[in-house]
């Protein structure tokens, strides 16, 4: 088997998806591609099952909030080909008051909690997720704390309203 | 031996209602149950002693690490990483330093890399000692735990020599270490690799061929490699299923490629195999430390950080006396440094599996976004589905063998 | 030679065949040297507590041989580690389940003040929800510090009057925390 490298991955993805998959960059040799929410499940399924790619290990799912961008949420998938030891990062930019993206749980069971965590922090809704609830924060919390507009500290605190702390 | 093979039903239905007519009983284990060694809540439905289904609730010590990290300069994030997997803090520290060094393209001198290897492997031993010791406690053997606890204290003594702290070590700086290992530290490390093998051997003898222990653990919570990979398991519990994925071997960092060590794997993926994999890993860690000590002797002495004054915090006495050091100190602390806008994913082999740092940097003082890929969090999600069909007592030792650390689970 | 030392007798009147002292002192002595700890360990400090219970430091030397995992039979609640807001009601429930007299040690920076985690999700010190007797600083405290905290608590226990738990001040204290008093 030939050694898999980033160029082969790019070629295979272009061949299969054409313009739907854009190559963003290769920071520190980690190929980063971007796609749309409508085709993310196809892309993930393809890179997982394709005989030459076989990115069969889901390392991580997370999201990033870019409040100043037009599409303000980026869902980031890290997948890993354990046999050839190559990683691939797939980004999906989405927007809207409730950013929505299909769930990867049909492909990997491990996606379940990763997506719940992402929902909990950013409010990204994963369609088709079997049990999309908050996971780390309290159920009563009504905000998505990792969004940039929310402060780190509890805004309801009174004990720090102090001359010396200056607030 | 006929043991029930665990049936894995992903996303099994969960019933919460306590209907007195129901043949099943709903039992709440946790979040402060003594058998769970941490803050985990599992609501299980039981049929007699057997679990029908369960659901895990986590987040009881959620501390918002990722949010804090967006407000802290890089060097202040090291203490946060301490508190992820607090049983093996140095691995987390080193993982974070290496992530930043990857971002900044800092190449470390060989000696520093070997020093890091020593610290990380000591931490791995300390972590595996706890996990295997606790597994012994949960299967009814307290003395093994007490034996190896002494050695863990000795590892903490070494950490104290190196950095001054026992548990939350905060070892190292971006670009190396804050100070050289002193004579005592080296002497203690050498003493440790002499005195630990007999203790580990004794500990091993208590369990490996022990009929009670084998009956209790063999075949319990057996996981197939396919399931393990589908649930993104990593670390010793994945290797116990037979998948030889170890970040140290596949993507060597800190010069692990120069070391000779085996990656132990199991065959059944059950609790016994996990115990054995961890046990063997301790032997391998000892091998690595021995080699690292040899290699360090061949390197020039006194080197403990890379020569990158613009990123490495200068020693305090120089800050007070040296203009250049003062400027660099100011720049690093205030975040006025020239850093590339980039993103990095760096993974290290933590004691529980692949510990990843996904760092997005926009050139500012703090990371734009820092995500921790926490092995405990990913590994633990299979616990509830895999528990269905298991006896409660088996589920308890299954949880101990997963070695889920609450700090890493909840971040 | 045995290394066992006896607890010092409280001041009193001694004569042939009798020893008279106040009941408070005797009971305080007995209580102080048989504190049953309830380790409420959530994070890092819990690991240090494990070392404290382990062979090198051995908390059992001070009369805390038996960690009581049932709050009903525990005297001393050791809160070790970060208490998130999600956890706060659980901690309060554990405290209310304990029988009087009960004492609380906040071990570590997180339990004492929230520590380095000044965030939306972390309770800024357990004294916001339950009364605390002894604070142990450190992140995490060394086992010696935890032992010192227990010894400090022993002093408090020794000198506590039997009536304290029935005083209006104590009831007012519990009421401030919204905890019902069960002895009156």
Could A137 and C86 be called an inter-chain contact, meaning their C-beta atoms sit closer than 8 Å?
Answer: yes
Closest by Cβ to C87, choosing from B61, B86, B407: B61
* The pLDDT of residue B347: 94
Chain A residues within 8 Å of chain C (Cβ atoms) = 136-138, 145, 150-155, 157, 159
Asked if B55 and B188 sit in the same domain, the reply is: no
Whether the predicted pLDDT of B4 surpasses 80 = no
Tally of residues, chain B? 411
Does C40 or B8 have the greater pLDDT score? C40
Cβ B32–C94 below 8 Å, yes or no? yes
CA atoms of B252 and B113, how far apart (whole Å)? 12
Residues 6+ apart with CB under 8 A from A163: none
Which band of pLDDT confidence, cut at 50, 70 and 90, is reported for residue C1? low
* Chain A residues whose beta carbon lies within 8 Å of the beta carbon of residue C127: none
Classify residue A127 by its DSSP letter. E
Closest Cβ opposite residue A153 in set C85, C86, C118: C118
Contact assignment for A146 to B373 by CB distance below 8 Å: no
Find out whether B101 and B174 touch, Cβ atoms under 8 Å: yes
d(CA B379, CA B56): 13
Is the confidence at residue B48, as pLDDT, over 50? yes
Mean pLDDT computed over B46-53? 88
B69 in the same domain as B49: no
> Phi and psi (nearest 5°) for B371?
-115, 135
* Residue B409 domain flag: no
What span, in angstroms and rounded, lies between the C-alpha atoms of C12 and C21? 4
B1 has a pLDDT exceeding 50? no
Neighbours of A161 (CB within 10 A): 9
Q: What is the per-residue pLDDT across B327-355, written as a single tens digit (0 to 9) for each?
A: 999 988 888 888 889 999 999 999 999 99
Per-residue pLDDT at B3: 36
Instruction: Fill in the DSSP letter of residue B199.
Output: H
Chain C partners of B406 at a C-beta cutoff of 8 Å?
A: 42-43
C96-134 pLDDT, tens digit per residue, is: 989 888 999 999 999 998 888 888 889 888 998 999 999
Q: In this predicted structure, what is the pLDDT of residue B184?
A: 93
pTM of the full structure: 0.91
Same domain assignment for residues B45 and B85: no
Interface of C with A (CB under 8 A): 85-86, 118-121, 124
Interface test with B, best of A55, A57, A86, A151 (most B CBs within 10 A): A57
Cα gap A133→B223, rounded to integer Å: 26
Same domain, B112 and B167: yes
Which chain B residues have a beta carbon less than 8 Å from that of C56? 149-150, 153
Say if residue B54 is in the same domain as residue B69. no
Residue B21 confidence (pLDDT): 64
Say whether pLDDT at A162 is over 90.
no
Task: List all chains that touch chain C, counting a touch as 3 or more CB pairs closer than 8 Å.
Answer: A, B
Q: B408 with B375: CB under 8 angstroms?
A: yes
The pLDDT assigned to B111 comes to 94
Strands, E assignment, B16-110: 25-29, 41-47, 50-57
Q: Which of A18-32, B184-198, C59-73 has the highest average model confidence (pLDDT)?
A: B184-198
Q: Binning pLDDT at 50, 70 and 90, where does residue C182 land?
A: low
Give residue B8's pLDDT band: very low, low, confident or very high (50, 70, 90): very low
Enter the tokens of residue A24: 């963003």
What is the extent of the structural domain holding B89? 65-373
Quote the CA–CA distance of A124 and A126 in Å, as a whole number: 6
Query: Confidence band (pLDDT; 50, 70, 90) for A165?
Result: low
Per-residue model confidence (pLDDT) at position A163: 62
B357 lies in the same domain as B393: no
* Closest residue, chain C, to A144 (C-alpha): C120
The verdict on B201 and B323 lying in the same domain is yes
Task: Provide the CATH number for the domain formed by A6-98 in this structure.
Answer: 3.30.460.80
Question: Is the pLDDT at B7 greater than 50, yes or no?
Answer: no
DSSP code of residue B291? H
Percentage of residues in chain C having pLDDT higher than 70: 97
CB atoms A60 and B371 under 8 Å: yes
- Nearest by CB to residue B63, choosing from C84, C90, C94, is C84
- A interface mutation test: which of B238, B381, B386, B408 has the most A CBs within 10 A? B381
Rg from Cα positions in chain C: 17
pLDDT in tens, A133-156: 889 988 888 889 999 988 888 777
Count: domains in chain B: 2
In this prediction, residues C141-166 reach a mean pLDDT of 91
Per mean pLDDT, which of B4-13, B103-112, C55-64 is the most reliable?
A: B103-112
Chain B hits for A134, Cβ within 8 Å: 59
Which of A85-94, B348-357, C57-66 is the least confident region?
C57-66
- Distance between CA atoms of residues A72 and A95, nearest Å: 5
CB contact under 8 A, A150 and C85: no
Helix spans in A4-133 (H): 6-17, 40-49, 111-122
Distance CA B304, CA B110 (A): 9
Q: Does B227 touch chain A (CB under 8 A)?
A: yes
* Interchain contact, B60 vs C117, CB within 8 Å: no
Helices (H) and strands (E) in chain A, counts: 3, 7
Rounded to the nearest integer, the mean pLDDT of chain C is 88
> What pLDDT does residue B289 have?
95
Do B146 and B243 belong to one domain? yes
Residue B15: pLDDT over 80 = no
Q: What was the pLDDT predicted at A139?
A: 83
Residues B343 and B387 in one domain: no
Residue B320: CATH number of its domain: 1.10.645.10
Q: What tens digit of pLDDT does each residue of A35-54 get?
A: 999 999 999 999 999 988 88
Q: Do B61 and C82 touch (CB under 8 A)?
A: yes
Cβ atoms B184, B164 nearer than 8 A: no
- Closest-CA distance, A127 to chain C, in angstroms, reads 27
3-state secondary structure (DSSP) of residue A15: helix
- Number of H-type helices and E-type strands within chain B: 17, 6
Q: How does pLDDT run across A108-141, given as a tens digit for each residue?
A: 999 999 999 999 999 999 999 998 988 998 888 8
- B366: helix, coil or strand? coil
Instruction: Note the pLDDT tens digit of each residue in C80-106.
Output: 989 998 889 889 989 998 988 899 999
Is there a contact between B93 and B81 (Cβ–Cβ < 8 Å)? Answer: yes
CA distance B163 to B170: 7
**Contact between C54 and B146 using a beta-carbon 8 Å cutoff:** yes
Contact B1, B217 (CB under 8 A): no
- The Cα C99–Cα A136 span in angstroms is 32
Contact criterion met (CB < 8 Å) for B153 and C54: yes
Token couple for A152:
């780190």
Whether the predicted pLDDT of B71 surpasses 50: yes
- CA C124 – CA C115 distance, rounded (Å): 8
pLDDT tops 60 at residue B319:
yes
Task: Evaluate whether C84 touches B83 at the Cβ level (below 8 Å).
Answer: no
Please give the pLDDT value at position B285. 95
> Per-residue confidence at B363, pLDDT binned at 50, 70, 90?
confident
Q: Both B170 and B286 in a single domain?
A: yes
| Domains in chain C: ranges and CATH | 35-158+166-176 (3.40.50.12280)
In a domain, B411, yes or no: no
Per-residue pLDDT of B293-318, as tens digits, reads 999 999 998 899 999 888 898 888 88
Contact B383, B55 (CB under 8 A): no
Greater confidence, B187 or C63? B187
**What is the pLDDT averaged over residues B268-276?**
93
Q: In this predicted structure, what is the pLDDT of residue B19?
A: 58
| Chains sharing 3 or more CB pairs under 8 A with chain A | B, C
Asked whether residue B266 falls in the same domain as residue B168, the answer is yes
Could you tell me which chain B residue has the CA closest to the CA of A146?
A: B67
pLDDT reported for residue B18: 54
- Report chain B's mean pLDDT, rounded to a whole number: 88
Question: What was the pLDDT predicted at B22?
Answer: 65
- Average pLDDT of the segment spanning A75-93: 93
pLDDT of residue B14: 45
Check whether B170 has a pLDDT greater than 80.
yes
> Is there a contact between C52 and C146 (Cβ–Cβ < 8 Å)?
yes
Quick one: tokens of B69? 């990290």
Q: CA geometry: angle at B276 spanning B273 and B279, to 5°?
A: 150
Please state, as a whole number, how many other Cβ atoms lie within 10 Å of the Cβ of residue B100: 24
- Residue percentage of chain B with pLDDT more than 70: 95
pLDDT of residue C66: 81
Cα–Cα distance for residue pair C68/A35, rounded to 1 Å: 56
Does the N-terminal peptide bond of residue B195 adopt cis geometry, omega within 30 degrees of 0?
no
- Residue C138 DSSP one-character state: S
Q: Out of C86, C118, C120, whose CB is closest to A145?
A: C120
Contact (Cβ atoms closer than 8 angstroms) between residue A81 and residue B251: no
Neighbours of A38 (CB within 10 A): 11
Q: Name the pLDDT band for B20 (thresholds 50, 70, 90).
A: low
Residue B349 host element (H or E): strand B342-349
CA nearest neighbour of C82 among A162, B134, B82: B82
pLDDT of residue B160: 92
End-to-end alpha carbon distance in chain A: 63
Angstrom distance (rounded) from CA A56 to CA B13 = 27
Mean pLDDT, range C10-19, rounded to an integer: 89
Check: CB of residue B89 under 8 Å from CB of residue B127.
Answer: no
Looking at residue B305, what DSSP letter applies? B
Report the alpha-carbon distance of residue B247 to residue B224 in Å, rounded: 20
Q: Is the pLDDT of residue A3 over 90?
A: no
Q: C155: pLDDT confidence band, cut at 50, 70 and 90?
A: very high
B308 and B338 inside one domain: yes
Distance of alpha carbon C87 from alpha carbon C96, whole angstroms: 15
């Amino acid at each position: 088997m030939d050694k898999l490298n980033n160029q082969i991955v790019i070629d295979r993805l272009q061949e299969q998806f054409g313009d739907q998959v854009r190559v963003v960059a290769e920071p520190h040799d980690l190929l980063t591609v971007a796609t749309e929410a409508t085709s993310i499940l196809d892309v993930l399924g393809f890179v997982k099952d394709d005989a030459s790619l076989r990115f069969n290990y889901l390392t991580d799912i997370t999201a990033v909030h870019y409040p100043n961008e037009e599409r303000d949420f980026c869902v980031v998938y890290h997948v890993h080909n354990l046999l050839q030891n190559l990683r691939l990062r797939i980004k999906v930019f989405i927007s809207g008051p409730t950013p929505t993206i299909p769930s990867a749980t049909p492909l990997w069971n491990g996606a379940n909690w990763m997506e719940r965590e992402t929902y909990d922090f950013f409010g990204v809704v994963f369609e088709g997720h079997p049990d999309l609830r908050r996971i780390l924060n309290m159920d009563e919390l009504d905000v998505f704390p990792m969004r940039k507009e929310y402060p780190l500290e509890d805004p309801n605190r009174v004990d720090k309203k102090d001359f010396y702390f200056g607030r | 031996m006929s043991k029930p093979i665990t049936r894995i039903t992903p996303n099994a239905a969960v019933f919460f209602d306590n209907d007195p007519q129901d043949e099943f009983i709903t039992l709440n284990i946790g979040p402060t149950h003594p058998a769970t060694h941490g803050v985990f809540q599992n609501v299980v439905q039981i049929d007699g002693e057997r679990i029908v289904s369960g659901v895990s609730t986590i987040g009881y010590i959620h501390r918002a690490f990722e949010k804090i990290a967006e407000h802290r300069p890089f060097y202040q994030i090291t203490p946060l990483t301490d508190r992820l997997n607090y049983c093996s803090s140095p691995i987390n520290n080193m993982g974070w330093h290496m992530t930043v060094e990857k971002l900044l393209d800092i190449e470390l001198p060989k000696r520093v890399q070997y020093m890091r290897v020593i610290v990380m492997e000591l931490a791995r031993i300390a972590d595996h000692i706890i996990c295997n010791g606790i597994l012994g406690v949960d299967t009814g053997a307290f003395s093994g735990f007490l034996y190896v606890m002494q050695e863990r204290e000795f590892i903490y003594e070494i950490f104290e020599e190196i950095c001054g702290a026992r548990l939350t070590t905060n070892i190292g700086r971006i670009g190396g270490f804050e100070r050289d290992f002193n004579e005592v530290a080296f002497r203690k490390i050498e003493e440790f690799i002499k005195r630990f093998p007999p203790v580990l051997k004794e500990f091993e003898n208590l369990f490996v061929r022990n009929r009670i222990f084998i009956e209790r653990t063999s075949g319990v919570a057996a996981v197939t490699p396919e399931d393990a990979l589908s649930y993104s398991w990593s670390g010793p519990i994945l290797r116990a299923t037979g998948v030889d994925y170890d970040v140290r071997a596949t993507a060597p960092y800190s010069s692990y490629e120069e070391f000779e060590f085996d990656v132990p794997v199991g065959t059944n993926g059950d609790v016994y195999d996990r115990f054995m994999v961890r046990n063997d890993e301790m032997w391998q860690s000892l091998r690595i430390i021995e080699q690292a000590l040899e290699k360090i002797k061949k390197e020039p002495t006194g080197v403990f950080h890379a020569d990158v004054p613009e990123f490495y915090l200068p020693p305090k006495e120089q800050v007070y006396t040296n203009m250049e050091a003062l400027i660099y100190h100011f720049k690093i602390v205030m975040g006025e440094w020239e850093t590339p806008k980039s993103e990095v994913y760096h993974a290290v082999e933590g004691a529980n599996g692949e510990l990843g740092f996904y760092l997005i940097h926009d050139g500012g003082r703090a990371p734009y976004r820092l995500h921790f890929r926490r092995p405990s969090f990913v590994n633990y999600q299979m616990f509830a589905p895999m528990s269905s069909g298991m006896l409660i007592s088996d589920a308890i030792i299954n949880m101990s063998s997963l070695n889920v650390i609450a700090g890493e689970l909840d971040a | 030679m045995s290394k066992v030392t006896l607890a010092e007798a409280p001041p009193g009147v001694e004569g042939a065949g009798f020893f008279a002292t106040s009941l408070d002192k005797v009971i305080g002595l007995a209580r102080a040297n048989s504190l049953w700890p309830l380790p409420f360990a959530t994070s890092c400090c819990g690991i240090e507590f494990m070392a404290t219970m382990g062979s090198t430091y051995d908390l059992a030397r001070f009369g805390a041989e038996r960690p009581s995992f049932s709050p009903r039979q525990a005297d001393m609640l050791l809160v070790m580690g970060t208490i998130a807001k999600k956890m706060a009601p659980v901690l309060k429930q554990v405290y209310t389940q304990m029988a009087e007299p009960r004492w609380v040690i906040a071990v570590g920076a997180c339990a004492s003040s929230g520590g380095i985690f000044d965030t939306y999700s972390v309770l800024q010190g357990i004294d916001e929800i339950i009364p605390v007797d002894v604070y142990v600083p450190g992140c995490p405290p060394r086992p010696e510090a935890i032992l010192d905290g227990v010894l400090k608590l022993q002093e408090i226990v020794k000198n506590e009057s039997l009536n304290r738990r029935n005083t209006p001040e104590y009831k007012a204290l519990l009421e401030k925390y919204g905890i019902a008093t069960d002895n009156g």
